[in-house]
A and B are shown apart, each in its own frame.
Chain A
Amino acid sequence: NAGVTQTPKFQVLKTGQSMTLQCAQDMNHNSMYWYRQDPGMGLRLIYYSASEGTTDKGEVPNGYNVSRLNKREFSLRLESAAPSQTSVYFCASSLWTDVPGGYTFGSGTRLTVV
């Protein structure tokens, strides 16, 4: 049981380059999320997908786009990377029924933009 799988684990980009972070879960969760984590800032929500076919902005969406490809996969795209996007990115998923379920996080992607 893999849980939430993120790729890649590490990435270095030059300013202006683009890339897509991949995330897949095998727990049949309906909701998926992308967070970024910066020192002293905690986890901040970038985008989320409450269910397949829907996506919504979180707290810090500028400079990012997402795609909920199917129930399992939720990708995050940086169209033109900036040094301010240097961070650790976590994908998470959860099962929402009448009540919110606990989040399962992927192992993270450490992104450096130079």
Chain B
Amino acid sequence: QQPVQSPQAVILREGEDAVINCSSSKALYSVHWYRQKHGEAPVFLMILLKGGEQMRHEKISASFNEKKQQSSLYLTASQLSYSGTYFCGTLRAGAGSYQLTFGKGTKLSVIP
């Protein structure tokens, strides 16, 4: 089942902060975050595991709330290079599951 991302789109000025959420109705084992720039392939940012610690990639960090089955991506002091569409991918708990299911994405635009 596809995770739900919010917001669908956000516009920031350079230096502002943003939070992107990813929620699932199913028990999750891990959450991936990817960024895709227009016309390019998605690029892996970080992975969060059940019971694991908050992760960080440059000035981008993420958390995983197991009770809520939700992950949040925090973009701090945004830069123009952060523009793109952010996707979360969720892996359901359960042995033998290899299917990473992606949300529909959050389009982030950073303007000067």
Count of B residues near A, CB < 8 Å? 24
- Given A31-B98, A45-B100, are A102 and B44 also a contact pair (CB < 8 Å)? yes
The answer, yes or no, to whether A104 is at the interface (CB within 8 Å) is yes
* Chain B interface, >50% SS class: strand
Q: Is B74 an interface residue (CB 8 A)?
A: no
0/1 string, B23-46, CB within 8 A of A gives 1 = 000000110101000001111101
Interface size class of A (residues with CB under 8 A): 20 to 34
| Known interface pairs A45-B101, A59-B101; A105-B43 also in contact (CB < 8 Å) | yes
- Verify A107–B40 contact, CB threshold 8 A: yes
The residues of B that contact A2 with a CB separation of less than 8 Å are none
Whether A48 contacts B98 in the complex (CB less than 8 A), given A42-B2, A100-B91, A103-B32, comes out as: yes
A50 engages B98 (CB within 8 Å) = yes
Query: What residues of chain B lie closer than 8 Å to A106, measured between beta carbons?
Result: 41
A interface residue numbers (CB < 8 A to B): 31, 33, 35, 40-45, 48, 50, 56, 58-59, 90, 96, 99-108
Shortest C-beta distance, A33 to chain B (Å), equals 8
B99 close to chain A: CB less than 8 A: yes
Residues on the B chain within 8 Å of A107, using CB:
40-41
